[in-house]
Structure 1
């Protein structure tokens, strides 16, 4: 009954506010530079304040008032106040308001806006970095560690309640993943980050690909007529060592802005895996000792040029070249049900990879007026090439260690994956008197060439096996259109509704099988946000969207890739997309507490299934559409200070997951209640704020990972950081997984055979890192004046 009354109240409040009008405007100084944090106050004839706000980073403001006569006052420290009389009977767009310096202007004025720690915008949570001591003197990873709804564990960034996510810088997607993405973010100084925006359910203007959220890292504007360098080095020590180094350079003069980066990684890890398969008549236990060698270089260059105050053009090129090597020794022991050793199988392999990635983005931005009307155009090209050379040999032994006759087998498996993606995107932002509109479209053309070859080397002579060799071609074309509108009914009630349509055509051709698979489909992806400000410190938001997960390109080739003589990975050309419907009800309290109740429902889900049978020792891993999954959970994040030098963030979640299988006779459905907790404490150790310590703890109870049951795990971390030489040099020591407890076991039952996979990724380590920043102002005469989601599937 109370909920019903609340809904009726919100509807009445929305309807009653239609008589209100909207006042929009933009404030700049005499050099056409936007003024942020300017005060905008509206008073009536009695000089009583009716409403007010402060300008955003673009100098814009918006007020909602009832029709009538008012006085608008614009003020900012060091500038002359401007008053305007307004007669309001309809929505109004004011001409650009230019503030001039006051004759009594101070020689130097330092302005610091007192923004709350967290805010709510219509489609995102905003974390204001300057208000957090946890981010003081750190890097981008330090900031994400304390951002509400975000988890950073073992340099892996994730979003609570989401299976994956993307990262943007100033609304442009970062075309990096894994270690490259973490290294890029770690090279960002926290002092250069203005805010973090967490988008749990992206709206219709974003690509529908991927059942995940988005993080938008908004940086502070680079100082005009200046350049700066940043040089980083780190050494991580676990069982083995990994060195990472890099440098970045930024330059801004007049209308030109340049940014470049280069990075290098080299070293190795020693992960350990153990598999136990319980067959009806025997038990298979396999230990896999690996050594992963890393060797990669990456870089990028971006250019932005202001043709005029309203038009910018630019581009970005990025590349990576990685040549990892994986050496492994697998020992499989076959036992009777009573644990009597029957035989052993030894497999040694060397997997050599060569992965190259080149991407190019060209863009233009045209602002058509001072009120936000804007056209954005992007063209993107990506080339991704991955070559794998896997050489392995296998021997079988009796229980006494004697080799079995004729059991030796040796082979060489080669694969070559080449992907080319071209896309173009056009977006239009159109504020109107009644509603703020965004609409646009995107075209994407993908070509994927995948070749696999198998050579039998057992006789000492390399012989091609045509039955295990194939050439596969896959083409995918996509056309998308979207429209999104935001309506502010009042200062307290707002609504965003969007709809995106995507038409996809695919064709896969297997040369050796003489098989062609085509699939054409059109899908709609709606999104909705409803925002209600109960009071200034109480904000309630409901949001919904629908998403799609298309198959990864390398999962579509139907032929087999042998990791060893009895473990085979095989693609599936019949893979279809999976879909997700995501719901969230969130609540912000006093700008320091964030609560979320969420529900995600996935249909036609894809998972890697290890198909086994009692009659064969072959383990065939095939990606398969076979399950529907529902996740329901509650999440709570809270930030508080125990002292001026001691800040804490803590988040906890309780959730239920259930996976229903479409093939229960082969893979059974599973369900689980689970919980997690994550804490981070930051300590400023000196009065000058040059030294800081951090202590972190993460715990995850048993849960589900797709169709697998996942064991509990936890991790303790500690770090200390210091700044030297006027904060130009930063040095840090961090310890990860101190107790060596971040060990995971995945369990699944296939054809009545229980599979247990134990996995430890060599996570306990100490990392030593240093960063040196330097720059200089440039003397200058003042002059007044779209393939991103596809990359996740690689």
Structure 2
């Protein structure tokens, strides 16, 4: 690691010395009044490649520091004509360009009433960018918008899948969230789709990102007001499925030019359910189980931040984020055992109230320094994250014989599981453009994670509750990751771009089970490489290929060996001996304009972490353990895009096909499974008179395999109507989701002595009425992208 740190210091200090000077100028309107906020781009000739860009200050002035060459200045502002300066040769001496005058557009075209419902797709060398602002997102929440991105799917719990894989890192504004899958989905459901600016799909992230995440990354970029003044959005949604739900949010931005302030609050009350029907064949008996989970959750997420532009080159940022989600749940279960003749031999009923809460907050400090105007930049991030949660449960289990008579007294149990996380990280990133369109990037990062969990399980005896050490565990986990990376890229004119990265990560960890006197220490160093190439055949046709090697470390909870019961016969247990998963990913893309004609992907994961059921035929207990599988591989193909059938009828369609294979050892026995699967969705928007929009969506997922389970097919049909008012600032919408109730999770597990069928029903059919109101200056742009230091660690919480 010392060598890597020395390399970066030498790179930063050894910047190439070349003759450079300043080009300055001013932007005004036809009345010679300055135009602050006008965008100013510096283009290199003869290839017209952008080498620098900035926004005119309060006096309409701009200043570039650059190396000798031939250039032209381009300037634009909403509502004004675009103007170019005369081309000029720059020899390194300071130049004052003539004033550029922008003329207000007098005959603006009437606003086009039809907006494409699939975003403009931009295939860059290392990611596919979905411009959400090209979508008509009226009435949609952020999770619904995300589902429209190519290759994105949701599992039965609304966890985000990418390329048919759960090992995906989800970021918001360049940083990981602090939430579990359920918390993240609730957070995105309470956020309006109109708050999103872009979605970046990064199957093979370059070296400046953490190597965490075998399936790649999804970065959700929110809108942020870069125009002076204030703006905001308020939304409120009321829904009903089997139970009511209410959620809404408020987004406010204020920008003075020197200081930018923003605040976001999203909150929701969710009353929902999950019904699981489980059927297990145990030797010559059939064991049926029915669980009903009825949670009531009040979730609130908030973000407060500021960016202070100390100078044209220096920016300081401070951001505070928080999330809390108290939940009360009533859980009932009923289990019965049938003999080979169909007669009931016994049964158990359970009542299991649950109370839980999660409180997470984080602080991010950021500094960005533009060393010059040609792109040389240094940025530093420091992060602190704290999370505390608990789940308290009681169990009352009553046993019956085959005749329905009660056996003995009900058994009463209770458990408590408080968990605490502390994450500290610091990172630095440096960008150095070189001559002939070469660019070098380098960076360092260190993170420190400390977690603690004290799971206690008690049984009610004659003299009160007695602790059960077999099902209790006081668990501590500490981890330090040190990383360094280097990236080099080259632009060969307007047709060819290449990029390569190498990242090294050292991991030192200690998992300590104090109750069981079990200590597992690890210390390993891994190199992670990535490479990218993009070739533009012409302005409309583009080819792209990429490769990366990545890692997925076990989540902190999966390392805790405590047994956590959901009913008398079903439990899950962690494994402190889990190894990290290593993946190799290959992607090839062909894009025509904004249509992803074909995206081919091959992903192989060694030591993938999955839950494996260990079934005890005598006690009928099924305990799911986290284990490393041998290898899993996925070959997938995606085609997605939009097309306009009529001026008022726009279609967004996607088709995915995949071949999955699992090859591993389960319980000492070899296990192999493979399956071809496909899915498709079509989203039709009809733009009707008087600002009405009708939307019809249909989705289908064929049978597939997921780890050791074989999932069955599912489908969903949605319909909605939206009406906009007040120059499209106010919108009202009504949506009906999963009208025919075809979206449920059904799977089959068959290996060793396990023969189980799952049927999981949840509140997929629901009706929602919502409104959204935009106020202030609505000309919004993407937020400043902060790839903060705690990214990789937070997602493993």
What TM-score comes out, normalization by structure 1 length?
0.86
CA shift at 1:606, angstroms?
Answer: 1.0
> Matched residues in 1 for 2:141 and 2:231: separation?
16
> What pairs up with 1:637-786 in 2 under 5 angstroms?
637-663=640-666, 665=668, 668-686=671-689, 690-775=691-776, 786=789
Inter-CA distance 537–415: structure 2 relative to 1 (3 Å threshold): same
CA shift at 1:567, angstroms?
Answer: 2.3
Asked whether 1:498 is paired with 2:501, we answer yes
CA shift at 1:144, angstroms?
Answer: 3.5
In structure 1, runs of 5+ residues without a counterpart are 1-22, 43-49, 61-67, 778-785
Q: Is the 1:470–1:559 Cα contact (8 Å) retained in structure 2?
A: yes
**SS of 1:144's equivalent?**
helix
Q: Which residue of 1 aligns with 2:616?
A: 613
> What pairs up with 1:413-562 in 2 under 5 angstroms?
413-434=415-436, 435-459=438-462, 461-562=464-565
Inter-CA distance 39–640: structure 2 relative to 1 (3 Å threshold): farther
Asked whether 1:375 is paired with 2:378, we answer yes
> Matched residues in 2 for 1:267 and 1:138: separation?
17
Q: Which residue of 1 aligns with 2:413?
A: 411
Out of 305, 330, 342, the position equivalent to 2:308 is: 305
| Farther off after superposition, 373-382 or 586-595 | 586-595
Q: Is the 2:471–2:563 Cα contact (8 Å) retained in structure 1?
A: yes
Q: Is the 2:488–2:501 Cα contact (8 Å) retained in structure 1?
A: yes
Q: Which residue of 2 aligns with 1:203?
A: 206
Q: Is the 1:633–1:654 Cα contact (8 Å) retained in structure 2?
A: yes
Inter-CA distance 490–612: structure 2 relative to 1 (3 Å threshold): same
Q: Is the 1:314–1:364 Cα contact (8 Å) retained in structure 2?
A: yes
CA shift at 1:529, angstroms?
Answer: 0.5
Out of 590, 602, 606, the position equivalent to 1:603 is: 606
Asked whether 1:324 is paired with 2:322, we answer no
CA shift at 1:411, angstroms?
Answer: 0.5
> Matched residues in 2 for 1:546 and 1:379: separation?
26
> Matched residues in 2 for 1:282 and 1:27: separation?
84
> Matched residues in 1 for 2:297 and 2:355: separation?
11
Q: Which residue of 2 aligns with 1:7?
A: none
| Farther off after superposition, 280-289 or 455-464 | 455-464
- Please give the per-residue CA displacement for 1:295-319, whole angstroms capped at 9, x wherever unaligned: 2232221111111111111111111
Q: Is the 2:207–2:530 Cα contact (8 Å) retained in structure 1?
A: yes
| Farther off after superposition, 549-558 or 717-726 | 717-726
Out of 622, 625, 629, the position equivalent to 2:628 is: 625
In structure 2, runs of 5+ residues without a counterpart are 1-19, 28-33, 57-67, 779-788
> Matched residues in 2 for 1:367 and 1:181: separation?
34
CA shift at 1:585, angstroms?
Answer: 0.7
Inter-CA distance 666–240: structure 2 relative to 1 (3 Å threshold): farther
> Matched residues in 2 for 1:168 and 1:469: separation?
34
Q: Is the 2:43–2:52 Cα contact (8 Å) retained in structure 1?
A: no
Q: Which residue of 1 aligns with 2:6?
A: none
Higher relative contact order (CA 8 A, sep 6+): 2
Q: Is the 1:144–1:152 Cα contact (8 Å) retained in structure 2?
A: no
> Matched residues in 1 for 2:521 and 2:562: separation?
18
> Matched residues in 2 for 1:313 and 1:792: separation?
26
> Matched residues in 2 for 1:541 and 1:79: separation?
32
- Please give the per-residue CA displacement for 1:225-246, whole angstroms capped at 9, x wherever unaligned: 3123422221120111111132
| Farther off after superposition, 430-439 or 150-159 | 150-159
> Matched residues in 1 for 2:446 and 2:267: separation?
34
Q: Which residue of 2 aligns with 1:235?
A: 238
- Please give the per-residue CA displacement for 1:580-629, whole angstroms capped at 9, x wherever unaligned: 11111110023324311110001011111121032331221211113310
Q: Is the 1:300–1:317 Cα contact (8 Å) retained in structure 2?
A: yes
CA shift at 1:737, angstroms?
Answer: 1.0
Inter-CA distance 388–180: structure 2 relative to 1 (3 Å threshold): closer
Q: Is the 1:354–1:388 Cα contact (8 Å) retained in structure 2?
A: yes
> What pairs up with 1:159-238 in 2 under 5 angstroms?
159-176=162-179, 178=181, 181=184, 195-218=198-221, 222-238=225-241
- Please give the per-residue CA displacement for 1:500-551, whole angstroms capped at 9, x wherever unaligned: 1110011111112222110111111111101111222111111011111111
> What pairs up with 1:289-304 in 2 under 5 angstroms?
289-304=292-307
CA shift at 1:648, angstroms?
Answer: 0.8
CA shift at 1:360, angstroms?
Answer: 1.0
> Matched residues in 2 for 1:715 and 1:162: separation?
21
What TM-score comes out, normalization by structure 2 length?
0.86
Inter-CA distance 94–619: structure 2 relative to 1 (3 Å threshold): farther
- Please give the per-residue CA displacement for 1:232-267, whole angstroms capped at 9, x wherever unaligned: 221120111111132222211231111112232224
Aligned residues: 741
Asked whether 1:246 is paired with 2:245, we answer no
Q: Which residue of 1 aligns with 2:394?
A: 391
Q: Which residue of 2 aligns with 1:782?
A: none
| Farther off after superposition, 646-655 or 115-124 | 115-124
Asked whether 1:105 is paired with 2:103, we answer yes
Q: Which residue of 1 aligns with 2:146?
A: 144
CA shift at 1:686, angstroms?
Answer: 2.2
Q: Is the 1:78–1:101 Cα contact (8 Å) retained in structure 2?
A: no
Inter-CA distance 730–615: structure 2 relative to 1 (3 Å threshold): same
